[in-house]
Amino acid sequence: MLDRQQPLHFIGVGGIGMSALAGILAARGFRVSGSDPRRNAVTERLRGDGVRVFDEQGAATLTTLAGEPGEAPLVVVSSAVPDSNPELAEARRQGLEVVHRSDVLAALINAQPSIAVAGSHGKTTTSTLIATLLAATDRDPTAVIGGIVPAFGSNGRHGTGALLVAEADESDGSLVKFRAHLGVITNLELDHTDHYPNLEALIATLRRFAAGSRRLLANRDCPILREHFDAHAWWSTANPEGVDFAAIALEERGDGTTAEFFEDGRSQGRFDLPLPGRHNLDNATAALAACRLEGVPFDELRQAMARLQPPGRRFDCRGLWQERIIVDDYAHHPSEVAATLTMARLMISSGRSLLPRVPQRLVAVFQPHRYSRTAQFLDGFAEALTDADVVLVAPLYSAGEAPLPGVSSESLAEAVRLLAPHLSVEVASTLDDLASRVAAASRPGDLVLAMGAGDVNGLWERLGALDEQGRPTALAA
């Protein structure tokens, strides 16, 4: 589909999925442009990579590009670009070819040996770990990830090695276009209820992804995968018997895990994972298994494990604010919230932590994401949040959805109160109010864990802009 003679233009080029593709294609010699009104580190990096970035997003941008010598541009959009977008409308008026970002990603995945990582949870972390291990063992992979990979300082990387590692997002079903050399499915449970009417529809989509992969590596511990999928290789963190790969925890601490790695039931030796939590052991086991299937020796991988770091917004420590540890996390599904809080609890109970200090209490700041998701998973969110010492609920992030009757941040808070009457639960009316409530409800030594896929990740900046009385200043507005 991709022709080096035809330029590409990305509408919303600063997006996490779009920017990776734009940077890689520019590095491969394509003429790439894009538009994004947000001027930030991502767009500046793209400029440095040779991408022509327009700060304005309007019809004039397409008029400028269409009037330049050479072929007309191929216009790339994501699911986040609405039909009302003026650039998209102008592209269609001019008769330009418009494709979805998944079509461009599919062209890259299908053109070379590739590892595509799908699943309800952990796919960003797992694909990050695979790409990091391959780079650390001199395989020089290309990577297209839905988060910032610390080892690369970017969500995209153009490598000269044979392999490409990609995160395969199932949220809109577009991953069925991918023809991966190795497909990986981390786990599966109902999610993205705005797109999938039920679990059966999600399973059917992932089965199509699996069928399009030359080989499939899957998590044997997930009952849905075990029942509905026929994998070429399985991994487990529960039992080394009956699976191709397993990692069994020997010691779990707040600063990491020591585990023993098995292949076909035979021990290959121990390794130290510098990421705490059983969910991270699961992600790392998938990454080790994928690299072993690609022929990387275990001894090389064991040495490289020491360099592993989670992607951005995955238990991302922003710093200390008035002796509180502020951490940002992308968790926005009950299973993710529960796993993140369990990991934080492990830091408290073990007295060991990767954070600047060992936390004493856990303040959970959670932002519900979408009315449909909140309605579907209300009870699950409430149950997960009861593991905190203090719960603060941020204003619901609608992601453009229309409100649903009876679904709100307050309804979630009330569900938590019903399950744990002893727990301090507050609801913020605005993000500024949220920062003020965090300041009042927390105390030195607390871990303030901000979770959600919306704009709650701005909590660190808003806390820094509070005055001495804990009130928002003009900077926080």
Q: What are phi and psi of 241, to 5 degrees?
A: -85, 140
pLDDT of residue 476: 39
Q: Are 202 and 210 in contact (CB under 8 A)?
A: no
Q: Which residue has the higher pLDDT, 263 or 477?
A: 263
| CATH code given to domain 316-476 | 3.90.190.20
Can 56 be counted among the known catalytic residues? no
Statement: residue 229 has pLDDT above 60: yes
Can 177 be counted among the known catalytic residues? no
> Average pLDDT for residues 362-376, to the nearest whole number?
96
| Structure token digits, residue 467 | 């005055």
Q: Which residue has the higher pLDDT, 454 or 469?
A: 454
**Residue 160: which residues within 8 A CB-CB, separation 6 or more?**
140
Statement: residue 242 has pLDDT above 90: yes
pLDDT of residue 400: 87
**Range(s) of the chain covered by CATH 3.90.190.20:** 316-476
Above pLDDT 90, what percent of the chain? 90
Give residue-wise pLDDT tens across range 337-361. 999 999 999 999 999 999 999 999 9
Burial class from Cβ neighbours inside 10 Å (0-12, 13-18, 19+) for residue 238 reads middle
Give residue-wise pLDDT tens across range 186-211. 999 999 888 899 999 999 999 999 99
| Strand intervals (E) in 4-153 | 8-11, 32-35, 52-54, 74-77, 98-100, 114-118, 142-149
Q: Which residue has the higher pLDDT, 476 or 402?
A: 402
**In this structure, CATH architecture of domain 8-100:** 3-Layer(aba) Sandwich (3.40)
Give residue-wise pLDDT tens across range 426-440. 999 999 999 999 999
Can 123 be counted among the known catalytic residues? yes
Collapsing DSSP to helix, strand or coil, 431 comes out as: helix
pLDDT band of 474, cuts 50, 70, 90 = low
Q: What is the DSSP letter of 474?
A: G
Q: Are 120 and 186 in contact (CB under 8 A)?
A: yes
Statement: residue 234 has pLDDT above 80: yes
Q: How far is CA 127 from CA 17, 197, 212, 271, 417, in A?
A: 14, 27, 18, 19, 37
Statement: residue 477 has pLDDT above 60: no
Residue 364: strand pairing partners: 391, 449
pLDDT band of 38, cuts 50, 70, 90 = confident
pLDDT band of 185, cuts 50, 70, 90 = very high
| Strand intervals (E) in 370-436 | 390-393, 424-427
| CATH code given to domain 112-307 | 3.40.1190.10
- State the catalytic residue, choosing from 61, 90, 123, 257: 123
Q: How many CA atoms lie within 13 A of 118 on its CB side?
A: 35
Statement: residue 81 has pLDDT above 90: yes
Average pLDDT, the chain: 95
Q: Which residue has the higher pLDDT, 161 or 39?
A: 161
- State the catalytic residue, choosing from 43, 61, 124, 205: 124
- State the catalytic residue, choosing from 90, 125, 132, 167: 167
SS3 per-residue string spanning 164-217: EEEECCCCCCHHHHCCCCEEEECCCCCCCCCCCCCHHHHHHHHHHHHHHCCEEE
In Å, how far from its chain's centre is CA 437? 27
Give residue-wise pLDDT tens across range 408-425. 999 999 999 999 999 999
**Range(s) of the chain covered by CATH 3.40.1190.10:** 112-307
Statement: residue 23 has pLDDT above 70: yes
Statement: residue 406 has pLDDT above 90: yes
> Average pLDDT for residues 254-282, to the nearest whole number?
97
